[in-house]
Every structure is written in structure tokens, then in C-alpha cells.
Amino acid sequence: MSGDYVIRQVRVDEWPVVKELRLAALRDPVAPIAFLETYEQAQAQSEKFWKDRTARGAEGEPHRCQFVAEGPKGDWAGTMTVLVEEPGAQDFTGELVEQQQAHVVAVFVREEHRGGTVAPALLRTAVGWSLARKGLSRVRLFVHEDNSRAEAFYRKAGFERTSLVGDEYEMEYHPAA
């Protein structure tokens, strides 16, 4: 819980809200450096696409989890998804994954909720879910080198740069000792 917000996994039937929140994220001014798709691409997707995407992030899926921050009136302030990457698989950069790891993606908090408790609560929940997975010992994410606000947020939460891949910093979670 974060203030009046509950952090929880999405439910399969919530695909219309998942779609609306993703489209809002893709309209954000930093979207071109934060996401791998455009508003136009996402808007053109079918209802089936959104239903399938939501189902993959809903409860019961062992390799993907989409969290939302839900307000007392049912409004969604933000979202964050975790993908579990298996050894030997190729990641989005084309590199082979060396160990079972979590990859935090699709991070978005509505502008009016930024700077408060929503983003930290989403990230704590995502990292906690990840580290609770048997055999998983690494949590990573990527942040564009021009997205200093996001990088500062992740650093404050315990992430450190591990490499530069193109124009993205890979960051890995290192809990405070």
C-alpha cells in the first residue's frame, strides 16, 4: 500500500484500463526514449492483443507480472511490469541471458502522481516479487542516458549502472548492506 494506493497485479478482465494506461504512457514527453513502441503502434493493436497482453501480466503467469497502483476510487496512478528472463534466452538487445534474472520494464506513473510514494511503492513491489522467485538473484532495468530523472530515482532505490548498451544504461539492483 502506498498512501491511499494499493499496489497489486492486474487482472485479466482489466485489459481496457491496461490499454488506456499504456496509451497515456506513450503520450508522455519522454516516451520516445522510454518505450520500444509508439502511441500509433499501440493504438492500432486489436482488442485481442490487449486482452492477451493483460493476461500475460495477470496473476498466475510465472514469468511476467504487471503491477498497478490503484487509488481508492479505482483510478490507476501508475504501472510497472517484471519479465523473468531465463538462461540461454535472447534478451531484447539480442544478447544471451546468462542467469535467471528479472527485467523491470514498462514503468509509468501519471504526471500528477510523480514525486510521491507511488513509483517507489511500485518498484519495491516489483523488486520484492522478483527476489522471491526461486533461483532468481538479479534484477535489472534499462534507462536512457538522457533520462536523468529516472536514473536518479532508480539509484535512490538501490540500482547501480552495470553497462552502457547503445544509449541505454543497464542498471542492476544492489540492496543496501
Closest to 31 measured CA to CA, from 46, 45, 41, 18: 41
Residue 78 DSSP SS3: strand
How many alpha carbons lie under 13 Å from residue 23 in its C-beta half-sphere?
13
Q: pTM value? A: 0.93
User: Which of the 8 DSSP states describes residue 2?
Assistant: B
Distance CA 14, CA 30 (A): 25
State the angle between helix axes of 47-57 and 15-27 in degrees (0 to 180), rounded to the nearest 10: 100
Q: Compute mean pLDDT per 10 residues along the chain, 177 residues long, and list them.
A: 81 96 96 93 97 89 91 93 94 90 96 94 96 91 94 96 94 84
